[in-house]
Structure 1
């Protein structure tokens, strides 16, 4: 019996949990009824997310990484195995900032700006590295412009990491990609998981996204009446507010 199955048998029905929420000033009975229905679905969604996380953690060992890729880091050359530091788990994000780009992808930049603030906490559990194909000097210059303090950047311009783990064409556009690697006690590095939801798995009328969505901005906007909208995306910079 799996962990997910055992937990599901001991949980209270979401509908029961949803019937004792707080009340807010001047809400109508119709609002509360609809909100309770939604709350039950939110509880079920949380449970589904946890079931998926359990299933992810139970994956069999992934493929052995046969090449100890060499990157250009902010302090000099570094290998993939060296990026783990003291951790046994390494998370990598492929930043859409290749040598053909004058400026990086705004969506990637929005994501990484949020992660920069979380990085001191994330690094307590795992190693995390941002990988771009542009020269390291170009990556670092934008890091300084953006005011990032905690993100570690490396350039993969001299190896095939992006092609091997982000399905990038070396002469074409960049792809965003999350990958997770593990390092065993004997030093063996394996690929554990990659975000594989993209354009081919997107539902009609929706941008490609993972589940859960890794973009904090969309998580916040999904809680608002206007939602994500269909005609707005993050930008690298905005006009100064009037006055």
Structure 2
């Protein structure tokens, strides 16, 4: 990260920053040594995440969108360019709730539930659209069932958006995915899309982006059991 005068900042070594003065009740010297070693790696990870984000921000202009896709919104037809509203950046999330599914993907549902709570803040900085191929009335009905209040939902059932930007074959199901678009001087361009999937997953791991956008997994990764290998969110956990 550059300094205020534009020159590169000289960062203190992570090994130096990672010597925490905190002590928790009952911890052993062995625990503290291991925890400080982990803290060094956590600092390095934070710095690497920032380096990757800076590299992403520095991408050259992406391709102009081939058409101003027409979607069906809750209040009527909406084009991709109209989704920007007053912003110059639009984030889209492809929701796995196509017409072939009886119910929404549980993983998408868990993620969108978290996003719904964050959406009033997100919309201060960028526009955000949730897109699926099911009719918009079906999307809105599920949103009402889940208590979502802030997500902006659009049906792409009548266009090629999912095929073009989610690598989706309608005959084979649907894919989740993020895309970011920018608008300048009336031209909408693709800025970034997630491209990590089954083909880039490491052995024994589910496909995931980096950083992982799901708060659920971020929290579980901080626990002894981690995210596990055979547990996934469900739409319903029965009586509490």
If the TM-score is normalised by the length of the shorter chain, which range does it land in? over 0.9
Query: What is the distance in 2 between the residues matched to 1:218 and 1:237?
Result: 18
Q: How does 1:226-237 map to 2 (within 5 A)?
A: 226-237=225-236
Q: Which runs of 4+ in 1 moved over 6 A?
A: none
Query: What is the distance in 2 between the residues matched to 1:25 and 1:153?
Result: 48
Query: What is the distance in 2 between the residues matched to 1:156 and 1:74?
Result: 12
TM-score (norm 2): 0.97
Indicate yes or no: 2:192 matched with 1:193: yes
TM-superposition CA deviations, 1:35-81 (whole Å, max 9, x none)? 00000000000000000000000000000012000000000000000
> Secondary structure at the residue paired with 2:82?
helix
> Secondary structure at the residue paired with 2:128?
strand
Specify every segment of 5 or more residues in structure 2 that has no aligned partner in the other structure, as ranges: none
How far has the Cα of 1:197 moved from its partner?
0.6
Q: How many residues align?
A: 238
Match of 1:52 in 2: 52
> Secondary structure at the residue paired with 1:110?
helix
Match of 2:164 in 1: 164
How far has the Cα of 1:235 moved from its partner?
0.5
Query: What is the distance in 2 between the residues matched to 1:82 and 1:170?
Result: 25
Match of 2:118 in 1: 118
How far has the Cα of 1:231 moved from its partner?
1.1
Tell me if the contact between 1:3 and 1:54 (Cα under 8 Å) persists in the aligned partners.
Answer: no
Specify every segment of 5 or more residues in structure 1 that has no aligned partner in the other structure, as ranges: none
Match of 1:92 in 2: 92
Q: 1:198/1:3 Cα in 2 relative to 1: closer, same or farther (>3 Å)?
A: farther
Query: What is the distance in 2 between the residues matched to 1:140 and 1:102?
Result: 15
